[in-house]
Amino acid sequence: MVQKLKVGTLISGGGTNLQAIIDACDQGRIDAQIVFTGSDVGGVKGLERAKKAGINTFVVDYARIIANCRQIRDLDSLLPKDFDPEEILGKQRLVDVEKNHEKALFFIKSRVIAERQLLDHIESYDMDLLVLAGFMRVLTPYFIDRINTSALGHRIMNIHPALLPAFPGTDGYGDTFRYGCKIGGCTVHFIDYGEDTGPIIGQKAFEIADEDTLEDVKEKGLQKEWELYPACIQKFAQSRKVISI
Ligand code: GRF
């Protein structure tokens, strides 16, 4: 019998990519099973999709945590004991520390406080791969190093709505459309210490016609994402099988 890849998922919203992965697992198109779905926002449709599929869910409310961090006098009292600011600031490529040290430090510390809560949930599961399926938060080296613990290396995948390295950031399809590109696409890549910079696993492209609106571009892109993400998870599952022989 094939040992299924145990996949954890993180989302922020509608979860159509999550649904595509759930369907691919259920229909036996990929050798994987989803072991949890976590969200940084409560009440989103993606959580409903997970519950309907019988998947355990949890929420780590980033907005509330960050608001709380702004209010509290002794922010450091909330930080995990194993957080080393010099180490994490030195490794990360998310914020410009030279430009505004204070702001950069607050950004990293508040995210690490939220990430510790994510890790507390995630560490209670047996997981081979973490899949970010429309998870709209960056992850610091504090979190990444605590997931990528195996000698096999990268274990966090992300889907990005553009053909990386073009158009990193939060609005890939919008940026592609406004630039006047005639080809758009999506990318699945591993997460590293930068924003949308990690090694590319797979990409799919589509044509943008002159009469296409931004909505058309998003629609065409999502259709490609739903094919690409399960295929990349399967590629990872296959590579694991080869390695474990
Ligand atoms: C997708 O376009 C994904 O590439 C981006 O956010 C969107 C999420 O869609 N990161 P969904 O939540 O999977 O429907």
pLDDT digits (tens, 9 = 90+) for 90-107: 999 999 888 888 999 999
Mapped onto helix, strand or coil, the DSSP state of residue 1 is coil
Predicted pLDDT at 10: 98
ω into 199 cis (within 30 of 0): no
Spacing, Cα 134 to ligand 1 middle (Å): 4
Q: What is the mean pLDDT of residues 70-82?
A: 95
Q: What is the pLDDT of residues 164-206, one digit of tens each?
A: 999 999 999 999 999 999 999 999 999 999 999 999 999 999 9
Q: Is residue 58 part of a domain?
A: yes
Predicted pLDDT at 1: 63
Spacing, Cα 84 to ligand 1 middle (Å): 32
Q: What is the mean pLDDT of residues 56-72?
A: 97
Spacing, Cα 85 to ligand 1 middle (Å): 31
Q: Are 159 and 130 in contact (CB under 8 A)?
A: no
Helices (H), the chain: 16-26, 45-52, 62-71, 85-91, 101-122, 141-147, 172-179, 214-244
Return the half-sphere exposure (C-beta side, CA atoms, 13 A cut-off) of residue 223: 10
Angle at 195 between CA 191 and CA 196, to 5 degrees: 60
Summary mean pLDDT of the chain: 95
Nearest CA to ligand 1 atom 7: 134
Nearest CA to ligand 1 atom 8: 134
Spacing, Cα 78 to ligand 1 middle (Å): 31
pTM of the model: 0.95
Q: What is the pLDDT of residues 3-37, one digit of tens each?
A: 899 999 999 999 999 999 999 999 999 999 999 99
Minimum-distance ligand 1 atom for the alpha carbon of 135 = 10
Predicted pLDDT at 97: 85
Active site residue 160: yes
Q: What percent of the chain has pLDDT over 70?
A: 97
Helices (H), 95-201: 101-122, 141-147, 172-179
Predicted pLDDT at 152: 73
If one residue of 48, 222, 223, 228 were mutated to test the ligand 1 pocket, choosing by the most ligand atoms within 8 A of its CB, it would be 222
Distances (CA, A) of 180 to 55, 65, 186: 40, 38, 16
* pLDDT at residue 242 is higher than 60: no
Residue 134: left if φ>0, alpha if ψ -120 to 50, beta else—which one?
left
Spacing, Cα 107 to ligand 1 middle (Å): 24
Predicted pLDDT at 245: 42
Each residue of 28-47: b (16+ CB within 10 Å) or e?
A: eebbbebbbbbbbbeebebb
Q: Are 204 and 224 in contact (CB under 8 A)?
A: yes
Helices then strands, each counted (H, E), the chain: 8, 7
Minimum-distance ligand 1 atom for the alpha carbon of 14 = 12
- What residue ranges line ligand 1, CB within 6 angstroms? 11, 13-17, 46, 133-134, 159-161, 222, 225
DSSP code, position 182: S
Nearest CA to ligand 1 atom 2: 161
CATH number at residue 83: 3.40.50.170
> CA–CA separation, 24 vs 207, rounded Å?
25
Q: Is residue 73 part of a domain?
A: yes
Q: Is residue 228 part of a domain?
A: yes
Q: Is residue 52 part of a domain?
A: yes
Q: Are 229 and 17 in contact (CB under 8 A)?
A: yes
Q: What is the mean pLDDT of residues 222-227?
A: 98
* pLDDT at residue 151 is higher than 80: no
Q: Is residue 245 part of a domain?
A: no
- What is the residue range of 167's domain? 5-240
Band of the pLDDT at 78, cuts 50, 70, 90? very high
How many domains is the chain built from? 1
